[in-house]
Amino acid sequence: MSRMLTLCWKEWRVMFDTPLGYVVATAFLLASGFFFGQNLFLVGQAEMRGYFSVLPLLLLFFIPAMSMRMLADEQREGTFELLATMPVRMLDIVLGKFAAVMLQITVLLALTLVYPLSLSLLGHVDAGQVAASYLAALLLAAAYAGVSLYASSLSSHAIVSYVLGFGMLLGLFLLVQAAATMPPSMQDWILMLSPVRHYQSMLRGVIALDDVVFLSGFAVLFIMLAWFQLERRRWR
């Protein structure tokens, strides 16, 4: 556990000792601000729903960017060998990296709390619904981070990892859009297996067990895949 946290701390340091962390954070906050402000000033609605409905798209771009170098760079720089010969289990390495991505996205999402706070000055904000939406956003981020980490374990090039992660997430995202054109018997399955669908269902302010279990299960599945991928490299 302590080693997992140490790894998470190291990733945090690397993220903010290099421009990447600032670039990603700035871009995310700018985009967030744009979509929130657009809803508030152009549409004239003092509510968070508009922001949360575009958030999956933002995460689609930004989470692969935060995760891309996590495992890819370690393999490219040879530091993976250093890491893997420390007294730490391979699973803890993956979990530490996952925790690092989650820490970053949590901090970024925490910064967007100024939106609901400023809205509460203008009018009534349903605190329960906003809280459920933030929880949904974190769970969706976890599912995306799992996929992106798996993508990062597949290649030793950060850019390739980004494209892989982004591609997988975009595929999942587009599958939902395409569901309408599919035979009705398949539609239900596709919608049930889509992380975004479960996220959207939580935005109503209802924390249903199946949504929570699905999204966290999705993250766990891909963390496992990343773990197997790293172990596989040793046995080849």
Partner 1 sequence: MIEAENLTRYYGDMLAVKDLSFRVQCGEVMGLLGPNGAGKSTTMKMLTCYLPPSSGTANIAGVALDRNIEVRRHIGYLPENAPSYSDLDVRTHLRFVGRMHGLPKATLEDRITEMAGVCGLHGVIHRRIDELSKGYRQRVGLAASMLHDPDCLILDEPTTGLDPNQIVEIRHLIRRLAEKKTVLLSSHVLPEVEAACDRMMIIDGGELRAIGTAAELARQGHGGAILHVRLKGGDAVLADVAGAFADVSIDSERDGQIVTAVLRHPDPDVLMAETVFRAAVAHDAVLLELRPETARLEDVFRRMTGKPVAEGQA
Stretch that binds partner 1, among 4-12, 127-135, 159-167, 215-223 (CB under 8 A): 4-12
Q: Does 229 bind partner 1 (CB under 8 A)?
A: no
Kindly tell me which residue out of 41, 42, 44, 87 binds partner 1, with binding defined by CB under 8 A: 87
Q: How far is the CB of 149 from partner 1 (least distance, A)?
A: 18
Q: What is the DSSP letter of 40?
A: I
Q: Does 82 bind partner 1 (CB under 8 A)?
A: yes
Is the Cβ–Cβ distance between 43 and 24 less than 8 Å?
no
Q: CA-CA distances (angstroms) from residue 204 to 118, 119, 132, 228?
A: 21, 18, 8, 36
Q: Does 124 bind partner 1 (CB under 8 A)?
A: no
Is the Cβ–Cβ distance between 168 and 151 less than 8 Å?
yes
Q: How far is the CB of 175 from partner 1 (least distance, A)?
A: 36
Is the Cβ–Cβ distance between 225 and 152 less than 8 Å?
no
Token readout for 189 is 């399955």
Token readout for 141 is 């981020």
Kindly tell me which residue out of 10, 49, 157, 197 binds partner 1, with binding defined by CB under 8 A: 10
Neighbours of 152 (CB within 10 A): 31
- The residues in 137-166 that bind partner 1, with binding defined as CB under 8 A, are none
Q: Does 109 bind partner 1 (CB under 8 A)?
A: no
Stretch that binds partner 1, among 10-18, 113-121, 125-133, 142-150 (CB under 8 A): 10-18
Q: Does 44 bind partner 1 (CB under 8 A)?
A: no
Number of residues that bind partner 1 (CB under 8 A): 25
Stretch that binds partner 1, among 9-17, 36-44, 55-63, 188-196 (CB under 8 A): 9-17
Across the chain, which distance is largest between two alpha carbons, in Å? 61
Is residue 142 packed enough to be buried (19+ CB in 10 Å), middle (13-18) or exposed (0-12)?
Answer: buried
Nearer to partner 1, 124 or 234 (CB): 234
Task: Output b/e per residue, 50-69; b: 16+ Cβ within 10 A.
Answer: ebbebbbebbbbbbbbbbbb
Stretch that binds partner 1, among 3-11, 125-133, 155-163, 213-221 (CB under 8 A): 3-11
Q: Which residues bind partner 1 (CB under 8 A)?
A: 2-3, 6-7, 9-10, 13-14, 17-18, 77-79, 81-89, 234-236
